[in-house]
Amino acid sequence: MKDVMISVESISKSFKLPHEKQGSVKNAFVNIFRSKRTFEQQKVLNNVSFDIKEGEFFGIVGRNGSGKSTLLKLLAGIYSPDRGLIKINGKLTPFIELGVGFNPELTGRENVFLNGALLGFSRKDMDAMYDEIVAFAEIEKFMDQKLKNYSSGMQVRLAFSIAIRAKTDILLIDEVLAVGDANFQRKCFKIFRDIKALGKTVVFVTHDMGAVQEYCDRALMIQDGEIVDIGTPREIALRYELANTEDQSGSTKSKKLERPKNPSIQIKDIKIKSGGKASKRFSIKDEIVADVDIEVSKSVAFQINLFFVRSSGVYMAGINSNEHLGLENYKLPVGRHTLRCKVQAGQLVKDEYSVGVGIYTEGYSPDLIDIIDQTYTDDTPQITIIDSSIYQDGDFYLQGEWLETKNTKK
Amino acid sequence: MNKLKKVFSKENKVLLGELVRTEFKLRYQGSILGYAWSLLRPLVMFLILYIVFVKFLRLGGDVPHFPIYLLLGIVLWTFFADITSQGLGSVVGRGDLIRKIRIPRWIIVLSTSVSAIINLGLNLLVVLVFMYFNKVDLLETSLWFPLVLIEIYIFGLGLALFLSASFVKYRDISYIWELVLQAGFYVTPILYPLTLITNVDYQKILLINPVAQAIQDGRYALVTHQTLTTTQVFGHAYYRIIPVGICIFVLIGGVLYFRKNAKSFAENL
């Protein structure tokens, strides 16, 4: 049994939001005589409890305004809870954002020392670490320039390389991955692995379900100031996706189309697998295997299409059966059948996709027989393509290669 | 005891040092004369007041070394005004830190007061140089002079803690304090010798102000014994207990008020 590093016992936090900004002595004076001041009590966190154990990489996920940043600020000791107790067993990074206290009028060098002092490092400590910090941030040339002349990426790099040196038992990280170019992100990921390997406790707040599943041991999902669930990263990621799609479908529910009634061929189920096991997460080398159960009540010629829809709702790509099963007059006898479709996951870029299947009559202007798709139903299979494609951006994985064709030696 | 150890921990000292350093670097950022302004400001101020009040209005004719007497008063008052007015804006000014990092909040106020001390040190050097050229005799009472500085510091810090914490909620405080300082400058016998006020009751009222008492005692200790101090006005040295008591009371009150409010700085900023 490992030690509990952070113990949060039923904390609540609310903010007073004055209706009229009461920022002057006169107003305060007037309000003394008024029987009630007008402000709204906004509950940000309500009765939240959880434990984080030593060496855990703990994710906190939730949408904007769910209270996760407030929770992090409470953990960091920047806010104090209205009710409840937070016990921290060890030293905690005191900051929740990179580059806190950076001053644009100071040079990079001066900022390093100032930032170091905020983390509790003396000048001597910083002297010893200075070269390492600068080298990691890859900005040796700019250290004697004022920070205001840095690009935002350079500032983040500098901040990150100071922050990871903080000698603490517990690290708080808030959405660092949103910044920096792909190359630097890769470096951050490597650092995360290192930190994890060192057995440090990390609290990681993010929207990125891929990163949660990749690095976290456990995760917590928060919504409207209350804990929805604590569990394995996978469970939480699913939960989060579900909550998001629920919300989206909430607004589009009325627009759902109706699936054809009593079709001659009906789609019963779609099972997504990888290497023989049911799976929802795929990385670059995986093969996505989709087993589609259909029930044929009238043997007609048909074609079947399996397709992927991105989280944004954009139809990404589909794979049609007529190339593989025959262009004309492909039929199956009455009864239940399973058709299998195999797709290389690496062709898709990192995102969450919903998988759909459509069955059509043959020919170039087919009629719909049956379909399972986001626009028809909520329970389409969801898959997540993880870190595979952090090296590129765009809409799909462009296959091809780079080579050196000619080497002229001097 | 443990708490006190925490207050003076290595981390806090390092942080305090770095904050003071930054503030100093930034203060005269971009100005050609740079740090020289620390000396020039009080000197020019002194020159103006000297010309107007000593040369034109002929104040303080019967006080020996009146220019030094005047300069010291200005320097001490500047010290007090620096601590309070810079302290006042310190918490709001470093809102970026307070909202995003957990550091002891009082360090921010303390760092501005340390800057004020450094400034005072520079100004006192100027005073010493003037004393040398003005051939002021070194008085034995000079040994008491640091007590005067400590008294002003305690009073100023207490006020700065109170002001900075209330400034988070009430932004009028800065304007009010500006006026208070302006009024204080004239209510305190800085430009004129206290002897100019003939009514003893008024003299007593003026000397209840800790800064006035400290300035008069400072002049007595360093420049000339022909300074009217609390001892002469009230008839006994023990009456200093009133202004000194006010200082201690203000410091304790300031610390308590600051501590009570510091918890909610991050959300109120």
Answer yes or no: is pLDDT of A169 > 80: yes
Residue type, A13: K
pLDDT at A320: 87
Say which range, A178-192, A209-223, A359-373, B57-71, has the weakest mean pLDDT.
A178-192
Whether the per-residue pLDDT at A23 is higher than 70: the answer is no
Put simply, the answer to whether A103 touches B26 (Cβ < 8 Å) is: yes
Chain B residues close to A123, C-beta within 8 Å: 14
For range A123-152, the mean pLDDT: 88
Mean pLDDT of B43-67: 84
- At A389, the pLDDT band (50, 70, 90 cuts) reads very low
Asked if B180 reaches chain A (Cβ–Cβ under 8 Å), the answer is no
Phi, psi dihedrals of residue A81, rounded to the nearest 5°? -70, 150
Chain B positions touching A109 (Cβ under 8 A) are: none
Provide, as residue numbers in chain A, all residues whose Cβ is less than 8 Å from the Cβ of B172. 24-26
Tokens 């005073």: give the residue.
B127
Q: Which of the four pLDDT bands, split at 50, 70 and 90, describes residue A283? A: confident
Task: Tell me which of A78, A126, A205 to substitute to probe the interface with B (most B C-beta atoms closer than 10 Å).
Answer: A78
Band of pLDDT at residue B174, cut at 50, 70 and 90: very high
Query: Taking 90 as the threshold, does the pLDDT of residue B219 lie above it?
Result: yes
pLDDT of A249 > 60? The answer is: no
Min Cα–Cα distance to chain B from A61, Å: 20
| B259 shares contact with chain A (CB less than 8 Å) | no
* Rounded average pLDDT over B35-62: 83
**For residue B175, what pLDDT band results from cuts at 50, 70 and 90?**
very high
> How far is Cα A125 from Cα A134, in angstroms, rounded to an integer?
14
Element (H, E) at B235: none
Nearest CB to B170 within list A23, A76, A120: A23
The pLDDT assigned to A178 comes to 54
A30 in B contact zone (CB under 8 Å): no
Residue A191 half-sphere exposure, CB side, CA atoms within 13 Å?
20
Residue with tokens 């910044």: A179
pLDDT exceeds 70 at position A228: yes
How confident is residue A19, by pLDDT bands cut at 50, 70 and 90?
Answer: low
Residue B249 pLDDT: 97
Q: What does the alpha-carbon distance between residue B81 and residue A370 come to, in Å, rounded to a whole number?
A: 82
Mean pLDDT throughout B31-47? 82
Give percent above pLDDT 70 in chain A: 86
DSSP notation for A198-253: TT-EEEEEES-HHHHHHH-SEEEEEETTEEEEEE-HHHHHHHHHHHHHHHHHHHHG
Pick the CATH number of A265-407 from 2.130.10.10, 1.25.40.10, 3.50.50.60, 2.70.50.60: 2.70.50.60
- Looking at the complex, does the CB of residue B26 fall below 8 Å from at least one CB of chain A? yes
How many Cβ atoms sit within 10 Å of the Cβ of residue B168? 21
Interface contact A15-B267, CB threshold 8 A: yes
Contact B42, B75 (CB under 8 A): yes
Q: Do B172 and A24 touch (CB under 8 A)?
A: yes
- Report pLDDT digits (tens) over B84-96: 999 999 999 988 8
Nearest to A169 by CA among A328, A302, A320, A2: A2
Which residues on chain B are in Cβ contact (under 8 Å) with A117?
14-15, 17-19
Answer whether A94 sits within 8 Å of B102, measured CB to CB. Answer: yes
The contacts of residue B57 (CB under 8 Å, 6+ apart) are none
Task: Please tell me the number of Cα atoms within 13 Å of B219 on its side-chain side.
Answer: 31
Question: With a CB-CB cutoff of 8 Å, which residues 109-168 of chain B face chain A?
Answer: none
- CA of A78 to nearest chain B CA: how many angstroms apart? 5
Same CATH topology for A4-243 and A265-407? no
Return the minimum-mean-pLDDT range out of A27-41, A196-210, B87-101, B178-192: A27-41
Residue A264 phi/psi, 5-degree rounding, is -70, -30
Mutation target for A interface from B24, B29, B101: give the one with most A CBs within 10 A. Answer: B101
Could you tell me if A137 and A157 are in contact, meaning their C-beta atoms sit under 8 angstroms apart?
A: yes
3-state secondary structure A134-202: HHHHCCHHHCCCEHHHCCHHHHHHHHHHHHCCCCCCEEEEECHHHCCCHHHHHHHHHHHHHHHHCCCEE
| CB half-sphere exposure, A278, CA atoms < 13 A | 4
* Interchain pair A95, B266: CB under 8 A: no
Mean pLDDT of B48-64: 84
pLDDT of residue A255: 54
Nearest to A100 among B17, B97, B170 (CB): B97
Q: How confident is the model at residue A31 (pLDDT cuts 50, 70, 90)?
A: low
CB-CB neighbors (< 8 A) of A105 in chain B = 26, 29
Contact indicator for B8, B106 with CB cutoff of 8 Å: no
Q: How confident is the model at residue A392 (pLDDT cuts 50, 70, 90)?
A: low
pLDDT digits (tens, 9 = 90+) for A62-86: 887 788 888 888 988 888 888 899 9
Given 3-state DSSP classes, what are the helix, strand and coil percentages for chain A, each rounded to the nearest 5? 30, 35, 35
pLDDT in tens, B136-151: 888 889 999 999 999 9
> CB distance B266–A123 less than 8 Å?
no
Task: Say if the Cβ atoms of B101 and A122 lie within 8 Å.
Answer: no
Chain A residues with CB under 8 Å of B17 CB are 117
CA distances from A313 to A248, A305, A354, B122, B158 (A): 11, 18, 9, 68, 61
What's the pLDDT score for residue B187?
93
Is residue B108 predicted with pLDDT exceeding 60?
Answer: yes
Residue B99 pLDDT greater than 60, yes or no: yes
More confident residue, B252 or A148: B252
Q: Per the CB < 8 Å rule, is A117 touching B18?
A: yes
Determine the pLDDT at residue A253: 44
On the question of pLDDT at A92 being above 90, the answer is no
Residue A226: which of A45, A68, A49 has the closest Cα? A45
Interchain proximity A122–B10, CB inside 8 Å: yes
What local confidence, expressed as pLDDT, does residue A38 receive? 62
Q: Please tell me which residue, B164 or B236, carries the higher pLDDT value.
A: B164
Contacts of B14 in chain A (CB under 8 A): 117, 120-123
Of A24, A105, A120, the CB nearest to B170: A24
Whole-number Å distance between alpha carbons of A209 and A203: 15
pLDDT score of A16 more than 80: no
What residue type is A87 in one-letter code?
Answer: K
Q: Is A250 on the interface with B (CB under 8 A)?
A: no
Pairing of strands A57-61, A218-223: parallel
CA torsion sign for A181, A183, A184, A186 is positive
Query: Average of pLDDT values for B241-256?
Result: 96
Nearest CA in chain A to B260: A80
Q: Which residue out of B11, B13, B15, B18 would a mutagenesis test of the A interface target, given it has the greatest number of A Cβ atoms within 10 Å? A: B18
Q: What's the pLDDT band for A105 if we cut at 50, 70, 90?
A: confident
CA diameter of chain A: 89
Length of chain B: 269
Interface contact B101-A105, CB threshold 8 A: no
At residue A250 the predicted structure's pLDDT band, cuts being 50, 70 and 90, is very low
Q: Is residue A74 within 8 Å of residue A13, measured between CB atoms?
A: yes
Residue of A nearest to B28 (CA): A105
- Short-list B236, B241, B226, CA closest to B194: B226
- Interchain CB distance below 8 Å, A78 and B18: no
Report which of residues A248 and B186 the model is more confident about: B186
A252 pLDDT above the threshold of 50: no
User: Hey, how many other C-beta atoms are within 10 angstroms of the C-beta on A276?
Assistant: 7
pLDDT score at A310: 83
User: Any CB–CB contact under 8 A between B242 and chain A?
Assistant: no
Per the prediction, chain A carries an average pLDDT of 81
User: Domain segments of chain A: what residues?
Assistant: 4-243, 265-407
CB of A132 within 8 A of CB of A173? no
Distance CA B138, CA B82 (A): 28
Neighbours of A364 (CB within 10 A): 4
| Of residues B29, B102, B172, nearest to A76 (C-beta) | B102
Quick one: fold of A4-243? Rossmann fold (3.40.50)
Q: Does A79 touch chain B (CB under 8 A)?
A: yes
Neighbours of B265 (CB within 10 A): 23
pLDDT at A257 over 50: yes
As a whole number, mean pLDDT of residues B208-212 equals 95
Rounded Cα distance between A137 and A109, Å, is 12
Give the pLDDT band (50/70/90) at residue A247.
low
Lowest average pLDDT, out of A10-19, A139-148, B18-27, B247-256, goes to A10-19
Whether the pLDDT of residue A391 is over 80: the answer is no
Q: Which residues pair with A230 in a beta bridge?
A: A220
Instruction: Enumerate the β-bridge partners of residue A296.
Output: A265, A335
pLDDT, position A254: 42
Rounded (to 5) percent helix, strand, coil in chain B: 80, 0, 20
Angle between helices A152-163 and A108-118 in degrees, nearest 10: 40
d(CA A219, nearest CA chain B) in Å: 23
Could you tell me which residues come within 8 angstroms of residue A18 by beta carbon, excluding any fewer than 6 positions away? Answer: A37, A38, A39, A40
Kindly report, residue by residue over A32-47, the tens digit of the pLDDT: 655 455 667 788 888 8
Q: Which of B15, B96, B263 sits opposite A117 (nearest CB)?
A: B15
- pTM exceeds 0.90, yes or no: no
Contact B10 A24 (CB under 8 A): no
Q: Does A32 touch chain B (CB under 8 A)?
A: no
Torsion of CA B199, B200, B204, B206, to 10 degrees: 30
CA A274 remoteness from chain centre: 22
Task: Please give the average per-residue pLDDT across A373-398, as a whole number.
Answer: 73
Q: Which of B20, B19, B211 has the alpha carbon at shortest distance from B118?
A: B20
Could you say which residues from 66 to 105 on chain B have a Cβ atom under 8 Å away from some Cβ of chain A? 96-103
B263 touches chain A (CB under 8 A): yes
